[in-house]
Structure 1
Amino acid sequence: MRVAVFSTKTYDQEYLDRFNDSYQHQLIYFSAPLNRDTTNLTQGFDAVCAFVNDEIDKETLEKIAANGVKVIALRSAGFNNVDVDAARAKGIKLLRVPAYSPMGVAEHAVALILTLNRKTHKAYNRIRENNFSLEKLLGFNLYGKAVGVIGTGQIGAAFCRIMLGFGCRVEAYDVYESDDLKDRGVVYKSFDEVVGAADIISLHCPLTPETRHLINAETFARMKPGVMLINTSRGALIHTQDTIDALKSGQLGYLGIDVYEQEEALFFNDHSESIIQDELLSRLMSFPNVLVTSHQGFFTKEALEQIATTTLKNLADFEHNRPLENEVTARG
């Protein structure tokens, strides 16, 4: 199958090429993202392969359908960047990678917690300047702290297990409760109860119309003063301006984010010689108690292998009219 692979980095090509021997797809790589302005690149292709920040809206779908594209293979689990209804209307199949190394994302969330708490990033920079002072590096014990987990799918469940290992009291909210996590000691409560009691809150839910700006001014008002908030899921789960206001007032004591609401214009690219025009992100990064990473929670060898092998198999299943195990059939 002839496939246009968008938003390609060196690691994407390396892993897709490595595992393509078994499938023999004709993979053509484009560093450009897929959006309404780059659809001309899809001419002559049966399929496109896209990533989390490609903008696959109704107009994009109309144009690629006119070019003959019949299937979209996402290199991600989330599909909030795709107009699913428009894809269905155009007869374009939408495939995804439902899970890849959930432990990797969960471990990155823990890394953000530990770094923010013990300020190891600041200590590293101090030592390099021969400054061995401990002033302003004070942290707190994780043991015994209340950790609130919003969403206990595969990633959230992995995160719960890790935090239980630290000796934390883990409380969670999810529409679907896990008996296994309950047996391990996780206590399920309402959303308001979880965010109101937690010392640390970690978000592990998908972005849907219902969860957009789940964390906002009203939510912050219900939290403990000085709470730590971690987001390794989707940027739009939190209202950015409300988050800045909570940081300024001290209601939010720590923020660790691996995702950002407007990240598609910045993340995954080198802007070190540019002036960042995003005022909200620049303001966030100005706070000493904020840690931002650029959507690298998934970025492990194991995850890239799983993404590559599942994506290639999805395309082969479509090509050979086999059942599509990983087809997206509804927005929810």
Structure 2
Amino acid sequence: MKFILFSAREDEKIALESYQQKHPEIELDIYTESIDGNTMSYIKKGYDGLIASQVKAIPEAAYHLMKESGIKVFATRSAGYDMYNLKLLKELGIRLTRVPVYSPFAIAEFAFTSAMYFSRDFDIIQANAQKGDFSWQKSITSTEIRRKTVGILGTGNIGRITAEMFKAMGATVIGYDLYPNKELESILTYVSSVEELVEKSDIISLHAPATEENYHMFDAELFKRAKKNLILVNAARGSLIDTEALLDALDNNQLRAAAIDTYEYEGPFVNQTVSLDAVDDKVFLRLLKHPKVLYSPHVAFHTYNAIENLVHIAIDGAKSILLGEEVEEEVKL
């Protein structure tokens, strides 16, 4: 069984080596480059599956080359898969697997920490300190988390753990999900709509997938419903938020702050070093430089445990499909 793996990162090196040691029967050709017009020529006959992890679009010609080369399964080292051409994969008969659960604690911890950063006004404290202002003033007088209401949008594995963390701190936790989980009723109270979640929450943490239905769910109209001091955390998918509307709401003091780990058009920037002078995405630059925004480049997942799980589960999923086994991680196209 032979696989080709793209976008191998330095932080994945240990996980890849440990997998190869445990599975000498798997031949793995590893490339650090992502799949683009220049590197798709690496895809040749003899490979049974392809393992990828990238946010920028893959050329259509690369998908056709996969089919021509005999690749039967495409495995992504991520939970999300909206960045791939699902329609084309289906047409070509190439099966898709993902890693839906790799370390929900990693993302939940990141979301919780980001929310607490603003909840205790660390942004203002740091800015004041840099100016030599060490006074105790109203702008850094915080409200304890146990006095706040935290809204969780999406109460799957990550949302549940995030809710548990805030609950343990004494917060009132509410949630919204298309499919409420009765087992979580000891942790949170479900509300009937996203609008109600926004109207009642002091902090909102997003943990919903990217779908056509929730594209730009958080738009200008929804922000108008928010509490003035709302803190918004997005460690889910960038397309949940209309970024320009978010920035306008921050400028108009409709929101307190936003922690953004996923940006809708992050493909050209994530996991790369770029010259900001060469960036022509004005919305991204505005987001990056906004004093009320804590931006991070899609790193909420980035722990040693999560990286190992992403690598091992992705390769195992591809292997299992080729062996004719039922694969829970398969995406039904």
**Same fold per superposition (TM over 0.5):** yes
- Report the residue type matching 1:98 in the other structure: P
Q: Indicate which of 57, 65, 68 corresponds to 1:66.
A: 68
Q: Which residue of 1 aligns with 2:324?
A: 321
Alignment of 1:39-54 (within 5 A): 39-44=40-45, 45-54=47-56
Per-residue CA deviations over 1:16-52 (Å, capped at 9, x if unaligned) read 2212222232222223222455422212433211114
Question: Which deviates more from structure 2 when the two are superposed, residues 315-324 or residues 75-84?
Answer: 315-324
- Is 2:186 the counterpart of 1:183? yes
Are residues 247 and 227 of structure 1, via their aligned partners in 2, closer, same or farther at CA, if it must alter by over 3 Å? same
For residue 182 of structure 1, report the CA deviation from its aligned partner.
0.6
Q: How many residues align?
A: 330
Alpha-carbon distance in structure 2 between the residues aligned to 1:273 and 1:217: 27
1:215-261: CA deviation from partner (whole Å, max 9, x where unpaired): 11111112122311110001111011111111111112201011101
In structure 1, the partner of 2:95 is: 93
Q: What does residue range 94-109 of structure 1 map to in structure 2 within 5 Å?
A: 94-109=96-111
Q: How does 1:240-319 map to 2 (within 5 A)?
A: 240-271=243-274, 275-319=278-322
User: Once the 2 structures are TM-superposed, how far is the Cα of residue 67 of structure 1 from its aligned partner?
Assistant: 3.0
Equivalence for 2:35: 34
Q: Which amino acid aligns with 2:34?
A: P
Does residue 4 of the first structure (1) align with residue 7 of the second (2)? no
Deviation (angstroms), 1:4: 2.1
Q: CA deviation at 1:289?
A: 1.3
**Pair 226,37 (structure 1): closer, same or farther in 2 beyond 3 Å:** farther
- The match for 1:163 among 166, 183, 194 is 166
Q: Match of 1:71, as an amino acid?
A: V
- 8 Å contact kept, 1:4–1:29: yes
Farther-moved stretch of structure 1 (313-322 vs 76-85): 313-322
Residue 294 of structure 1 aligns with an amino acid whose one-letter code is P
Which deviates the most, 127-136 or 305-314?
A: 127-136
Bigger shift: 206-215 or 28-37? 28-37
For 1:31, give the aligned amino acid: T
Partner SS state of residue 186, structure 2: helix
In structure 1, list runs of 5 or more residues that go unmatched. Answer: none
Report what 1:18 is aligned to: 18
CA distance in 2, matches of 1:115, 1:104: 17
Cα distance in 2 for partners of 1:57, 1:79 equals 15
What letter corresponds to residue 192 of structure 2 in structure 1? K
| SS class of match (1:98) | coil
SS at match of 2:50: strand
* Higher alpha-carbon deviation: 36-45 or 253-262: 36-45
Matching residue within 108, 112, 115 for 2:114: 112
| Alpha-carbon distance in structure 1 between the residues aligned to 2:108 and 2:85 | 28
Unaligned runs of 5+ in 2: none
Distance 1:36 1:178, change over 3 A: farther
Structure 1 residues 128 and 10 mapped into 2: Cα distance closer, same or farther (>3 Å)? farther
Q: In structure 2, what is the Cα distance between the partners aligned to 1:129 and 1:21?
A: 53
The code of the aligned residue for 1:235 comes to: G
Name the CA distance, whole Å, in 2 between partners of 1:122 and 1:253. Answer: 11
Between 266-275 and 223-232, report the one with greater CA deviation. 266-275
What is the TM-score with the length of structure 2 in the denominator? Answer: 0.91
CA contact (8 A) 1:42 1:67 kept: yes
Distance 1:276 1:120 in 2: 28
Stretch deviating more after TM superposition (61-70 or 253-262): 61-70
Deviation at 1:169, TM superposition (A): 1.2
Checking the alignment, whether the CA contact within 8 Å between 2:12 and 2:308 is kept in structure 1 is no
Partner of 1:234: 237
Higher deviation after alignment, 202-211 or 129-138: 129-138
- TM superposition shift of 1:105: 0.4
- Post-superposition Cα deviations, 1:154-174, rounded to whole Å, max 9, x if no partner, equal 001111111111111111110
Superposition deviation, residue 123 in structure 1: 4.9
Offset, 1:13:
2.7
